[in-house]
Chains A and B, each alone.
Chain A
Amino acid sequence: MLEQHLAALPILLPLIAAPIALILGRSSFSWAFATLISACACLFAWQLLDLALANGVISYEVGGWPPPWGIELRVDAANAFVLLAVSALSTLVLLYSKDSIEKEIEASKHTLYYTAHLLCFAGLSGILLTGDAFNLFVFLEISSLATYTMVSLASDRRSLIAAFRYLVMGTIGATFILIGVGLLYMSTGTLNMLDLANRIDIAESGRTINTGLAFIMVGVSIKLALFPLHMWLPSAYTYAPSAVTAFLASTATKVAVYVMIRFIFTVFGVDHVFGSMGMDLILMALAIVAIFKCSYKATVQSDVKTVLAYSSVAQIGYMILGISLVSATGLMAGLIHIFNHALMKGALFMAVGAVFYRVGSVDITAFRGLGKQMPLTMAAFTIAGLSIIGVPLTVGFVSKWYLVTAALEQNQWIVAALVLGGSLLAVIYIGRILEAAYFQERPDSQNTTEIKEVPWLMLAPMWALVLANIYFGVDTSLTTEAASSAAEWLFQNNEMPLGNQAEAK
């Protein structure tokens, strides 16, 4: 029974649990419940990845209606891989949020937070698992609406404006996706992704379908905060509660990247999107500008959350760059970076949240002297920061390695150099914070005795992520195996030559 419906469980479990969390009323009850649900979902995601790696694709017919009429859930290596990352992050963030939100969200809204988190998680799982283009839009809206709520929950009132901006931009993005899906439906008469892929006959009504593609790409680009459509992100990440930021930064944009991969590779086909539409040019240009422009912006911010937010946009640039290289290795680099970036940004935002918990501010001046006051938190921040820079033995290095390899494979020497150059900017913005934490004295005006380590419930998930950063940086077998089989599988469905695959083992 459980086996049979395994594919639907990561969506249904949090979706059903969300209203229950609201009904439970007490903050601690709903915290325990939400964490439990998320942990179960994580377990199922693990099993799904196992199954997908062993058996290939799992197809699940929702309500017993066979595709293409009914909604189909399709689990393959690519989405099971991302789903595992998302559900693991969700569980860790929930563990972390019990103490963290006490300082950042009013007590009366705590249950609302857990409900919204579960809804967002359900939506993200849905986006990942569904094999139906319209259904994807529905889940996108579920997760987005929950996200807007979560951003606006912060007691800092500026979060309201940030949430509003996010709402407007997110809605435009969703609308664009809907328009795109509508155009596709108009010319093909189907919504199932595989069916769509079979029926997209470019010769017949090319203009409608290509316009649809353009709309979808722009819509998804807003959702994943591709430069220059990223401007909702820094304010939303800055003013949202830290736990929310940690969750969103490590999952929401990543899922949107996955959606882009899905539409490019499964629905439209590489040949069409990159070959005849030439979208790789635009994506690559935007990705490179994102890496440099936003890394630069990150170096001049004074609010550490904003620094990390801009850094997120830059890191998304790396993922898109991987996709735009149009090779199995490039795609693999993008997928690996989705997973790895979730680990690093999750840990970084958790550490920043811990600083807010004790110091009450995340301005860079608030970090002064914290190396002595909060050694564990700052050590976590340091290691995750090194990972962002791409120091060996951390996951960041693995990502950069594959990205550079992919670029070299295509003889894109300049791109490879730019990737390494972008890391130098990361050295600056992480270095500024580390310098404040370790080399500057705490100003006397603040009472230093009160600042001590945060509760272990905040430290444990943070360090779990930090250790994962190191573990997956050394033992790359799980990530590379999953990502390379996902990348190969996605490329297999395309008639385009695979290029040199010496790298993808």
Chain B
Amino acid sequence: MNSVIPFLPLMVGAFAAILLRGWLRNTVMLIAPIVGAINLMGLEHGVFWSLEFMGYTLEPVRVDKLSMMFGYLFHLASLIAIIYALHVKDTVQHVAGLAYAASAVGAVFAGDLLTLFIFWELLALTSVFLVWARRTDRAYSAGFRYLIFQVLSGVLLLAGLLILAQVNNSLLFNQISLQHEGIAQIGAWLIFFAFGIKCAFPFMHTWLTDAYPESTPSGTIFLASFTTKVAVYAFARGFPGEEILVWIGVTMACFPIFFAVIENDLRRVLAYSLINQIGFMIVGIGIGTAIALNGAVAHAFNDVIFKGLLMMTMGAVLHMTGKINGSELGGLYKSMPKTTILCIVGAASISAFPLFSGFVSKSMIMAAAVAEGYDVVWLALLFAAAGVFHHAGIKIPFFAFFAHDSGIRTTEPPVNMLIAMTLAAIACVVLGSFPAQTVYALLPWEHDYQPYDVTHVLTQLQLLFFSALAFVWLNLRNMYPPELPSTNLDVDWLYRKLVPSFAIKVASTSYNAYEKMENSAINAIKRMSQKSYDAESDKPKGYFAKLWPIETMVVWVAVLLSSYLVLYYILS
């Protein structure tokens, strides 16, 4: 075996980026993912590295087709994101981005839960710097909320794996499933929720729509590529075929559409659409047949590329104009024609136009849903697909590049940004046009699926046509929700407004009560000691003396001694 540990090239690149400057760092950063990908080719399937840790067998690196697929994906995504970020002169973003990609690679090759947990937390710790790199107050506080969610996910994972380790006496990361006896059930659910938080389940998704749009233009590309996809991978490995995932996935696919349609910040629109796409993948994992699972991971693969492309075009807009709200943009196609075309490619991919990448994977999931008899799910997914086309396929390009002319005149973004976007766009077309040679070849489960038959293509084209019609009609009638500078309330209102105003009151009241009780206890002891010893008033002054005079400490000694003796007396 000539290969090294999969995440090593990227991690070494991250450390090198700390020390190097200028073109040297750029070269190293570009080489790192390429070397990493070549390194992956040399890996053989099986356990690459195992060791004993505290009595458990750990497999920090285990290679199979599923992890291999995500491994390639993450290297490709990091290469594109790095090219996109080359012009940035910010060590924090470069180092954090590379280390973040390395953690994601490490996570998908983790063969045991403990290693997974370590990379899980590393993902959180490295990625938060990408949010903070925007260096605004909003980004700072959004980053903190993001970090709290991510760390909470890690803690749940740790708690769950401890329970499972105790019950199964093994830490290996295989299928976990939700059906267990007794306490293992709790462990499995804890892990389920840990994955769920990272996967942006409904009501746990706010960290995503909160933090991603606050990051820098290039930071968001990294963010959109890794965290949620690692969670999708974890679900595919740990909980394939859990029926509850189908319903969670359908909810995720549908509800963000409403938010995305009324949202003004275009990158936040994309963040909502990210959740919506993950919803498709989760449905696929929940259905659990080979074709559905293949569809889910293939869609994860494609989503990273086309969502990255869309995020990059919006990042380019933000970078060049300094604005990202739909209400302030418009008419940019005149000054950014190349970006416009690239954005339309991304939009076509996410809307699953035939010959673009979204089509070949999304139709797999839909077909699997029909094959397994989930008719309602299929209808809901159809609705979601139409919604995607609406908000991501039409709204994003329309409001940014067309619509009314905002009068902004700018130029195309820097060359490296264009190159990165072009790469992603080419990938979208290649993946969509030649799926059998590219993405299907990597799929982990055995399957036989042909995306380009009459039914699939016709259904999809009809769907796209009618939702385009709906958009045009609504727009002509002035019934389409206009782009307004507004703040939309999501469930994070619960913890950003409601909890601070309500729960803090409850907490402070109960703490006051506790404090009062404690104070009265201390006062009682003080009184007792003064009564029994008739203390003089010339106590030594000072903070500590005032708080706990020696006699109080001695009283405690007596209390403890007597409690030992009383307990002994009672027991005997």
Which positions in A face B, CB cutoff 8 Å? Answer: 158, 161-162, 165, 168-169, 172, 176, 206, 210-211, 213-215, 217-218, 221-222, 228-229, 231-232, 234-235, 276-279, 281-282, 391-393, 398, 401-402, 404-405, 408-409, 413, 416-417, 420, 424, 427, 476, 480, 502-503, 505
Contact = CB atoms under 8 A, between A and B. Distances in A.
B568 A505 contact: no
B118 interface: yes
Nearest to A416: B162
A404 B162 CA distance: 8
B54 A392 contact: no
Given A161-B540, A168-B550, A218 B54 contact: no
A398 B165 CA distance: 15
B544 A277 contact: no
B571 A276 contact: yes
A165 B550 contact: yes
12 contacts: A158-B542, A161-B540, A161-B545, A165-B544, A176-B557, A176-B561, A229-B556, A229-B560, A277-B567, A392-B117, A401-B54, A405-B162
B564 A222 contact: no
Contacts of B459: none
Contact of B544 (A162, A214, A417): A162
B554 interface: yes
> Chain B's interface: helix, strand, loop or mixed, by majority?
helix
Contact of A408 (B114, B162, B563): B162
Contact of B564 (A214, A393, A427): A214
Contact of B568 (A176, A214, A231): A214
Contacts of B162: 401, 404-405, 408, 416
Contacts of A404: 162
Interface in B105-161: 114, 117-118, 121, 151, 155, 158-159
Given A281-B567, A503-B55, A206 B166 contact: no
Contact of A276 (B53, B544, B557, B572): B572
B38 interface: no
Nearest to A169: B553
Contact of A282 (B55, B557, B567, B572): B567
Contacts of B506: none
Nearest to A168: B550
B544 A408 contact: no
B221 interface: no
Nearest to A234: B544
Given A206-B572, A235-B544, A420-B159, A405 B564 contact: no
A284 B561 CA distance: 16
Nearest to A439: B140
Contacts of B550: 165, 168-169
Task: Report which residue of A161, A213, A398 has the largest number of chain B beta carbons within 10 angstroms of its beta carbon.
Answer: A161
Contacts of A162: 544
Contact of A221 (B54, B542, B560, B571): B560
A337 to B, nearest CB: 14
A328 to B, nearest CB: 13
Nearest to A277: B568
Given A229-B556, A278-B571, A408-B162, A218 B564 contact: yes
Interface in B503-542: 540, 542
B258 to A, nearest CB: 35
A476 B155 contact: no
Given A172-B557, A277-B571, A409 B564 contact: no
Contact of B166 (A228, A398, A405): A405
Given A161-B540, A405-B162, 7 more contacts: A168-B550, A217-B564, A228-B556, A231-B548, A278-B568, A404-B162, A420-B159
B466 to A, nearest CB: 51
B564 A279 contact: yes
B410 interface: no
Contacts of A420: 155, 158-159
B557 A222 contact: yes
A480 B54 contact: yes
Contact of B553 (A231, A393, A409, A427): A231
Contacts of A213: 564
Given A165-B544, A282-B564, A409 B557 contact: no
Contacts of A416: 162
Contact of B121 (A158, A282, A392, A413): A392
B194 to A, nearest CB: 13
Contacts of A158: 542
A409 B568 contact: no
